Amino acid sequence: MPNQFKAEVFQNQFLPEDAREVHAIMTVAVQAGDGIAVTPNNSRLFGIICDTSGSMGGAKIHAARDAMVKVVNLLPEDAHFFIVTGASKASVICPVSKATPDQKTWAIAAIKEIHSSGGTLMSTWLSQALEQFNKMPNAVRQALLLTDGQNDDSDESQLNKILQACEGVFQCDCRGVGTDWRVAQLQKIANKLLGTTDIIPNAEMIEVDFRAILEKAMSKDVSDVAMRLWTPQGAKILFCKQVSPDIVDLTHRAKIVKTQVVDYPTGAWGKQESRDYHFCIEVNPGNVGDEMLAGRASLVYTNNGVETKIVEARILATWTSDDAKSTKIDRRVAHYTGQAELAQSIQEGLEARAKGNIEMATAKLGKAVKLAHESGNEATAKLLKTVVDIEDAPTGTVRLKKAVAKEDEMALETRSTKTTRIQKPQN
Amino acid sequence: MIMMQCPKCGSSVLESDKFCEECGTSLTAIGCEKCGAQPEAIDEEGFCSVCGFRKEVQRLEITINSRLAGVSDRGLRHHRNEDYLALQTLNNNTHILIVCDGVSSSSNPHIAAQTATESASTALITAIKHQKNPESAIKSAVAAALSSLCNIPYTKSINSEPPSTTLVAAVVQQNTATIGWLGDSRAYWISGNNSQQLTKDHSWLSEVVAAGEMTQAQAKQSPQANAITRWLGADVIDDAIPSIINFTIPSSGYLLLCSDGLWNYAEQPQQLTNLIQQTSNTDAITISQSLIEFARHSGGHDNITVALLSL
């Protein structure tokens, strides 16, 4: 059954006199069904990038090897794959090959030969991966990067440069095993390459995580999708964020297509996938009674150099002197504004805690507890409980825990951007 | 006659004008009135692809002659005009007046009002030309309006009703006015002390008051006070039966058709009579304009439509 994209915009289009800011939530869902179908891309390339620096020695490298073997075995036979291992420099232990039984056997033999030694220069790993991905530019191109440590500080400018080159060529989910890696470092790579970041606290959990990533990657069948946004002349896009399933600020990723039109990258989409976006557009205000098209958002994918528009939705603005109309806030806009505030409170709370500013940390994390409670974000509420003792969730009254496990703090930091969908109103 | 603004100097111009009489700007190339973009820049929904603003007709003025005219105005609070009107004089002895008020809780009420008015008008003219009596002419006009409403595309959902509208139509021949209506758009006879409301609203309020269940004042307190009980729309195909009356015109005076945007501010026939008598000029268009101005000054909460025939 072909994929069909459906988009809907939720907003309060009514603005008071002189108001300029237009907020809208666009929900996009891929469903199987009839209608304008998107031609699925059946060519998939999956890359495994694994840290083999000295620190990976012992249980970690064993677990990583076992997990990679499992992933290779699970690869569908029509998919392509490659494996890059990296320390101070990178090696392609298995170049791009089709996942036939023979190739799998060959790759598994190579995986078993992996040993850990040397430092950590991630730019070299990504550079090798880039070369492999460039061999199949029309496939759905996704990678998984596993590390346990920090990138060498001397590598920073080189890493920035290579990330620039990788952007748009492939997507990459990043996983840190243990607690010696830096969240910000992996988030930087994952964000640039439209992937997720997460912690794998114990080496024995690598396998489960890898399988989940592979499964998600293999479900993607439309690649290189852009969110195209038209805005009126003189308008300014204050922000464009993906807000579900997690928050990804795309504002500064805008590429100008032509006057009044920009593209934001959204990567590949799979069956049954749904995402929500929050737009905030500043427009030239109209007179009371004026109606304006404040934005036209569409998803566009490119296949073999041909652009196809998948779905489109309109963002409107109508100026009114009726306060009853203009003061209402759309439920979804309010919900996602709250979820963004929740993520920010957690980040600020953890930063304050790291700096020893107990008062600020308590206030911010307390606010986060309150917001998580109100919005029914149970996953985040549970993570917050590992860092604070909650006295009263509805008011956000909390005490910082004296001892917090490093992995709990890192889990909260990496997962704070996960959002919930709006809950059904209760009767 | 559709009023617009010159994109350059802001003076009032007619849609049919080729040049602005004030500044001489060519009006034939007007696309967007806000930013002056070319007509090609306007999309099928009326939005300008340059500045985003929507081109909109907010006021419709029709003058057939000094005796028959009408105005439909957006008012001050609604963001678009969901009323519509049509006027026609046939063979100098038959006058046709139609006012429709789109039901704002339905989908695309502005299209419903315009579609119903236009198809009812066409059907009425055809029926009159075929020597049908006014009563059956109105019935066939309502049927034509209903069938064109059913052809407006709309997406069915729990939250949206099909495009719907009220309708009041009058056919005036010799000394008889035949009036048919559905909903709460009204017809009044305005003539000194003999002024009277000719239609009875199809509304919850008017029904409970007529049944003696409540006084007018009590019923007005109810949240359902404004709910209409009959209208034209695809959801009421079997109930779209107009009430019809034949009114013998007793003397000289005015036949006034209007939407609730006017009568909400002057319900009593005597109030309307006073307003009309205050107007210095007795041209039908001038009186219509002054009634619109009155409703706007009173708050302009709803779209306001007035159709007036001087007899």
Q: Rounded to an integer, what is the distance from CA A342 to the centroid of its chain?
A: 17
The domain made up of B59-310 has a fold known as Phosphatase 2c; domain 1 (3.60.40)
At which residue do the structure tokens 């107007």 appear? Answer: B279
DSSP track, A136-198: -TTSEEEEEEEESSPPPGGGHHHHHHHHHHHTTT-EEEEEEESS-S-HHHHHHHHHHTT--EE
Contact A291 B79 (CB under 8 A): yes
From chain B, the residues in CB contact with A234 under 8 A are 51
| Residue B288: CA count within 13 A, CB half-sphere | 32
All residues of chain A having their beta carbon less than 8 Å from the beta carbon of residue B49 are: 230
**% of chain A with per-residue pLDDT over 70:** 97
Are A108 and A72 in contact, with CB atoms under 8 Å apart?
yes
b vs e for A4-42, b when ≥16 Cβ sit within 10 Å of the residue's Cβ? bbebebbbbbbbeeebbebbbbbbbebeeeeeeebebbe
Tokens of B228: 């209409």
Residues in chain B with CB shorter than 8 Å from the CB of A322 are 77
Find the closest chain B residue to A260 by CA distance.
B50
Share of chain A above pLDDT 90, in %: 85
* Exposed/middle/buried for residue B151 (C-beta within 10 Å: 0-12, 13-18, 19+): exposed
Q: Contact, A356 vs A51, CB < 8 A? A: no
Give the residue from chain B lying closest to A324, CA to CA. Answer: B77
Q: Are A295 and A312 in contact (CB under 8 A)?
A: no
ipTM for the predicted complex? 0.79
Strand partners, A392: A397
Which domains does chain A show, CATH number per domain? 3-40+222-326 (2.60.40.3670), 44-220 (3.40.50.410), 331-415 (1.20.120.1690)
State the Cα–Cα distance between residues A13 and A168, nearest whole angstrom.
Answer: 34
Taking only the tens place, the pLDDT of each residue in A266-306 is: 999 998 899 999 999 999 998 877 889 999 999 998 877 78
Contact A302, A253 (CB under 8 A): no
Alpha helices by DSSP H, A49-169: 59-74, 101-112, 122-133, 156-166
Give tens-digit pLDDT for B133-180.
999 999 999 999 999 998 887 767 666 789 999 999 999 998 999 999
* Partner-chain contact B52 A294, CB within 8 Å: yes
Closest Cα in chain A, distance from residue B47 (Å): 6
Contact B77/A322, CB-based, under 8 Å? Answer: yes
Q: Which residues contact B263 (CB under 8 A, 6 or more apart)?
A: B186, B272
Dump pLDDT digits (tens) for A370-412. 999 999 999 999 999 999 999 999 999 999 999 999 999 999 9
What are the tens digits of pLDDT across the range A223-281? 899 999 999 999 999 999 999 999 999 999 999 999 999 999 999 999 889 999 999 99
- Residue B5 sits at the chain A interface (C-beta within 8 Å): no
Whether A291 and B77 lie within 8 Å, measured CB to CB: no
Chain A's closest residue to B75, CA to CA, is A289
Measured distance between the N- and C-terminal CA atoms of chain A, rounded to whole angstroms: 38
Short-list A45, A43, A134, A139, CA closest to A83: A45
**Contact yes or no for A289 and B50 at CB 8 A:** no
- Report CB contact under 8 Å: A291, B50: no
**Tokens 């799979």 -> residue:** A270
Residues of A in contact with B155 (CB under 8 A): none
pLDDT, tens digit, 9 for 90 and up, residues A321-361 = 778 888 989 999 999 999 999 999 999 999 999 999 999 99
CB atoms within 10 A of CB B70: 29
pLDDT digits (tens, 9 = 90+) for B33-54: 788 888 788 787 778 999 999 8
In a mutational test of the B interface, the residue from A14, A17, A260, A293 whose CB has the highest number of chain B CBs within 10 Å is: A293
Q: What's the pLDDT score for residue A190?
A: 96
Say yes or no for a CB contact (<8 Å) between B54 and A291. yes
CB A279 within 8 A of CB A315: yes
pLDDT at A426: 47
Residue A231: its chain B contacts at CB < 8 A? 52
Per-chain mean pLDDT for chain A: 93
Which residues in chain B are classed under CATH 3.60.40.10? 59-310
Find out whether B171 and B152 touch, Cβ atoms under 8 Å: no
Neighboring chain B residues of A321 at a CB cutoff of 8 Å: 76-77
d(CA A397, CA A403): 19
Cβ atoms of residues B228 and B181 within 8 Å: no
- Tokens at B127, concatenated: 């029926």
Cα dihedral A266, A341, A399, A202 in deg (nearest 10): 0
Q: Which of A289, A293, A322 sits opposite B52 (nearest CB)?
A: A293
d(C-alpha A5, C-alpha A29), whole Å = 6
Judged by CB atoms closer than 8 Å, whether chains meet at A291 and B53 is answered as yes
Does the beta-carbon distance from B76 to A284 stay under 8 Å?
no
Closest to A122 measured CA to CA, from A66, A163, A83? A163
Strand, helix or coil for residue A423: coil
Is B110's pLDDT higher than 60? yes
Note whether B57 contacts A: Cβ–Cβ < 8 A: no
Is residue A425 pLDDT above 60, yes or no? no
- Our CA-based measurement puts residue A61 at a distance from the nearest CA of chain B, in whole angstroms, of 57
Name the band, by pLDDT with cuts 50, 70 and 90, for residue A427. very low
> CA distances (Å), A226 to each of A255, A298, B61, B142, in order?
10, 8, 47, 50
Contact B77 A320 (CB under 8 A): yes
Element (H, E) at B103: none
How much is the pLDDT for A353?
Answer: 94
> CB A290 to CB B53 under 8 A?
yes
Distance from A325 to chain B by nearest Cα, in Å?
10
pTM greater than the 0.95 cutoff: no
Residues 6 or more apart from B24 whose CB is under 8 A from it? none
> Which strands form A197-200's sheet, in the order they lie side by side?
A90-98, A80-86, A44-51, A140-147, A171-177, A197-200
Chains A, B: CB contacts within 8 A come to 56
Please indicate whether, in this complex, the C-beta atoms of A320 and B79 are within 8 angstroms of each other. yes
Residues of chain A in Cβ contact (below 8 Å) with chain B? 14, 230-235, 260, 283-284, 286, 288-294, 317-322
Beta-carbon contacts of B221 under 8 Å, excluding residues fewer than 6 positions away, are none
Contact residues for B63 (Cβ-Cβ < 8 A; gap 6+): B1, B69, B284, B285
Instruction: Verify whether the Cβ–Cβ distance A288 to B35 is below 8 Å.
Output: no
Alpha helices in A279-327 (DSSP H): 323-326
Distance between CA atoms of A86 and A83, rounded to whole angstroms?
Answer: 10
- In this structure, the dihedral spanned by the alpha carbons of residues B245, B251, B252 and B256, taken in order and rounded to 10 degrees, is -20
Residues A241 and A98: their CA atoms lie apart, in Å, by: 36
Nearest CA in chain B to A315: B52
Count Cβ atoms below 10 Å from residue A77 Cβ, excluding itself.
10
Element (H, E) at B148: helix B134-150
Q: Are the C-beta atoms of residues A168 and A253 closer than 8 Å to each other?
A: no
C-beta neighbour count of A215 within 10 angstroms: 11
